[in-house]
Chain A
Amino acid sequence: MIRPVLARRERVVPATQAAGFVLGVVVALILGAILLWVSDHSPAEVYERMFDSAFKGTDSLSRTLERATPLALTGLSVAVAGSMGLWNIGAEGQMMAGAIVATGVAMMADGLSGPLLIALMMVSGVVGGMALMIGPALARSHLRVSEIITTLMLVYVAIRVVEWLETGPWKDPESFGFAVIEPVPEQAALPGLFGRANIGMLIALGLLLVFWLAVSRTAWGYELRLAGSSPDTARYAGVSLRRKVLTALLLSGGIAGLAGAVQLTGSAARLESGLSNGYGFAGIIVAALALMRPSGVAVVAFVFGAVQVGGQSIQTLGVSSAIADILQAMILFGALVAVVFFNYRIQWSGPGGGSSIAESGEPDLAGEVA
């Protein structure tokens, strides 16, 4: 009758968290090695290539950082909503909305100098992301319509709008018949830092810092944390839940929109339907792995970026893209399982005694696993 149950940890020790994270990834790498071995590749060689391509030398590192930048922004976007117990599944669409508005502004104001134009495009990105979020946010705060559904649906709307702009009103007349939008003005390209990294990375880092401060050190952040962790207590303390839901969702949309503008001016040449490239959806994983904390988002986005760069590079060794994708997924999955053990431990339970996950009554990550 003895069997394992997940028991909630009384205290969460940061050192255990880090160890759990590493262990989860290591287990995934071992399983991945078996997969590679079975499919006739040398695990050592593949892992070495993965590591080198993501970290070795400034060029490799810059590729990782280039990937990590939009991931950090969309991760933060999802985390801001997540700290209120809300799920913004549509960062992908808000990225697009941000990029659309930023492109529109660039078309109208292409005579401006670089810094001014870039600043204007960043603000437009935020506005675009927020605009796409207004509907879901109001529906959620006033009518309790699930934001999960509405934000997700609008992703496809945003992408279709880009496709329409590509083939219709914004089609580049000098594109020799290709359905593309004209590139953003040259002076709007984000200044590079080193290799492929650009100042978009600093924007993301700065924003993470601002949010970390705002959440942990301001009265506004206190109210947000209170409303997110115990809504009835917040009501009792006189915090308007409605307003908090609205601001958290709008900010979330705005940050994702900013990610779109950063991507547009940083790595992409022009607005196109593939601009968001899955970063918005990946942001959900980043935020979940980061336990919705801004500090965690930075670390996870970096690791996630490295895994993506590494996963791409090993295809040059003849590893098929399917195997590369499985490998990436396994590493993330290993980390995700590790997150469960941050908050829960296995308890071998015999007759009587012990409290199980079912009793904690908290809709946690682990709740779905159990």
Chain B
Amino acid sequence: MASTDADYAVWLRGIEKQFPGVIACAGADLWVRPGTIHALLGENGAGKTTMVSVLSGVYRPDGGEVWVNGQRRFFQSPADAIAAGVGMVYQEFRLVPTLTVAENIVLGAAPGLLRSAEIEERVAELSAAYGMAADPTRPVWQLSMGERQRVEILKALWRNASVLVMDEPTAVLTPGEAAELGLTLKAMAEDGRSIIYISHKLDQVVAFCDEATVLRQGKTVATVDDLDDVDLSSLAEMMVGSSGGGYVQRPPALEAGPEVLALQGISALNDRGLPALADINMTIHSGEIVGIVGVSGNGQKELAEVVTGLRQPSQGRVTFKEQDVTEASPADRYRLGLAYVPEDRIGVGLAPKMSVVDNAVVRSYRSQRRGLMLVMAKCVQFCQDLVERFGVRAGRLHDPVAGLSGGNLQRLLLGRELAEQPAVLVAAQPTRGLDVQGVAAIQSHLADQRADGVGILLISEDLDELLALSDRLLVMFEGRVVAEYGPDVTPRTVIGEAMAGQVRA
């Protein structure tokens, strides 16, 4: 590289950050040159948000260095980062709806006693300079999402941000607004500012950005100096690419068992009320692992939720063991034999503040009752059995579960779901963020369950894991299953293209 370190607008070096049970960053690097739009790519949980949170002073790193404009920084708070010229535009806007655009922009950074007319004039100048139409006198509650985002950007510019971080900026925008945003960002880059752009929408990344860094499992796995040199599918492949993540031998092929789960014409909306799944048809037989691969945000999460009953489909039918369960509750489905290891193991799968015992009986507490009372001895016994059977190192069973390591949390969760011999297991990102032993343990449990005749829907962002474990691999793109591959090894490039929506005939 021609430039020296001091020339970088942002240099995050060897960032390490650990949360209880999860390693978010394990020595990740990020270099951003001045005057560029830099895409920060990676799957959910790859460490993108943690990296920018370190840069914007929200988190302090456990290890590593933060350099901004050639100076090493030790941010203690977002205010420190703002003072150093780092601005952040969050996905959820942080605006006061009843205040005007100008008032929101200067809030907390008003230059002494200025008359509001003067402020409004200066805000108008600033917005005109970057081609952002924004009436400074309008209250924010009257604005569209796109306009609110402009206010957030203007807020950062008002504070003289030389680095602007944007987290999924187009998620809330209409296509027209997204295109306008692209122009604004380009104008800002031409002005010498740097933009860090986090997005899953690869087509927009290629259209807007100059360079890219790809994170996977808390590490930087690829940097792209010129995005014109790469195509969509190789970017997709880099994001999910090789992790060395398959630790088990592919179990021998089995006779396909009877069909246990079927989705027919399933469509569903996401939390924002936008279409997330469109006409999904799939079946799972007993004793097979069906892998789901795709760039995150293409409907995988919603698929798991529709199958397990946490999300109602807008159309279609879910059949489980020849029974229509489309309307059945998550608990009813579990009783029928449909187990679920959710993507959010803490907060959905497990209640972090409750004890190990309490968490162990989330599925079975109804059968540990005598009259109204919950028989604690039975609960403890049940938990003890789980802990032993699945090798959970749990410490004291009455302590909060949040004290366990990530691998042990997942063993406990998986063990609980498997305790009552389910017919189908839906496992979403079951090995994400785990250490090597944890990954190996979880993968071998999955393989064992398959051998015992459990049908498994495995949703993962680790292509190696999917290739190692799956009997069939389905590729999701924009809420549809766009390709299906058999157990033979399919070239990664072909899968990468399918993930980017380019299916080879």
Contact = CB atoms under 8 A, between A and B. Distances in A.
Contacts of A236: 310, 330, 340, 342, 348-349, 362
B347 A233 contact: yes
B351 A235 contact: no
User: Interface extent on A, as a size class?
Assistant: 20 to 34
A232 B344 contact: yes
B14 to A, nearest CB: 12
Contacts of B340: 236
A349 B59 CA distance: 13
B334 A238 contact: yes
Interface in A203-221: 217-221
Contacts of A5: 76
A369 interface: no
Contacts of B329: 238
A359 B331 contact: no
B139 interface: no
Contacts of B399: 11
B1 interface: no
B362 A232 contact: no
A222 B351 contact: no
A320 interface: no
B183 to A, nearest CB: 34
Contacts of A230: 347-348, 350-354
A233 to B, nearest CB: 4
Interface in A234-286: 234-238
Contacts of A226: 351, 354, 358, 362
Contacts of B374: 217-219, 221-222
Interface string B88-118: 0000000000000000000000000000000
Contacts of B363: 237
Contacts of A353: 60, 62
| Candidate in B19, B60, B332, B361 with the most chain A CB atoms within 10 angstroms | B60
A229 interface: yes
A358 interface: yes
Given A226-B354, A237-B363, A3 B347 contact: no
B372 interface: yes
A361 to B, nearest CB: 10
A248 B373 CA distance: 18
A219 B362 CA distance: 11
B74 interface: yes
A225 B348 contact: no
Contacts of B74: 1, 351-352
A10 interface: yes
B504 interface: no
Interface string A106-128: 00000000000000000000000
Interface in B345-390: 347-354, 358, 361-363, 365-366, 368-369, 372-374, 376
Contact of A358 (B58, B348, B361, B365): B58
Contacts of B352: 229-230
A234 B403 CA distance: 20
A355 interface: yes
B358 A225 contact: yes
Nearest to A354: B60
Contacts of B85: none
Given A1-B74, A218-B372, A229 B351 contact: yes
A352 B61 contact: yes
A222 B358 contact: yes
A351 B80 CA distance: 12
B63 interface: yes
Interface in A26-44: none
Given A217-B374, A229-B353, A233-B347, A359 B59 contact: yes
Contacts of A229: 351-354
Nearest to A358: B58
Contact of A220 (B331, B354, B372): B372
Nearest to B57: A358
A150 interface: no
Contacts of B373: 217-219
A237 B362 contact: yes
Contacts of A238: 329-332, 334
Contacts of A141: none
A352 B54 CA distance: 10
Contacts of A3: 76
A63 B51 CA distance: 59
B76 A225 contact: no
Interface in B44-76: 58-63, 74, 76
A235 B333 CA distance: 13
A229 B346 CA distance: 12
Given A233-B347, A237-B362, A238-B330, A359 B58 contact: yes
B311 to A, nearest CB: 11
A22 to B, nearest CB: 25
A312 interface: no
Contacts of B348: 230, 232-233, 236
A219 B373 CA distance: 6
A349 to B, nearest CB: 7
A295 interface: no
A315 interface: no
A187 interface: no
B314 to A, nearest CB: 19
Contacts of A221: 374
B430 to A, nearest CB: 16
Contact of B349 (A1, A10, A233, A359): A233
Interface string A321-341: 000000000000000000000
B60 A219 contact: no
A356 interface: yes
Nearest to B364: A237
Contacts of A10: 403
A319 B259 CA distance: 82
Contacts of A237: 330-331, 362-363, 365
Nearest to B354: A229
A242 B332 CA distance: 18
Interface in A1-37: 1, 3, 5, 10-11
Contacts of A233: 347-351, 362
A351 B61 CA distance: 10
A5 B332 CA distance: 46
Contact of B354 (A217, A225, A235, A354): A225
A352 B63 contact: yes
A236 to B, nearest CB: 6
A16 to B, nearest CB: 15
Given A229-B351, A354-B60, A219 B372 contact: yes
A304 to B, nearest CB: 26
A1 B80 CA distance: 12
Interface in A56-108: none
A217 B374 CA distance: 5
Contacts of A232: 344, 347-348
Contacts of B358: 222, 225-226
Nearest to A221: B374
A232 B342 CA distance: 11
Given A219-B372, A237-B365, A351-B74, 8 more contacts: A10-B403, A217-B376, A222-B361, A226-B354, A349-B60, A352-B63, A353-B60, A355-B60
Q: Which 5 A/B pairs are nearest by Cβ-Cβ distance?
A: A238-B331, A230-B351, A351-B74, A233-B351, A232-B348
28 contacts: A10-B403, A11-B399, A217-B374, A217-B376, A218-B373, A218-B374, A219-B372, A219-B373, A225-B354, A226-B351, A229-B353, A230-B351, A232-B344, A233-B347, A233-B350, A233-B351, A233-B362, A235-B330, A236-B330, A236-B340, A236-B348, A237-B331, A351-B74, A352-B60, A352-B61, A352-B62, A352-B63, A355-B19
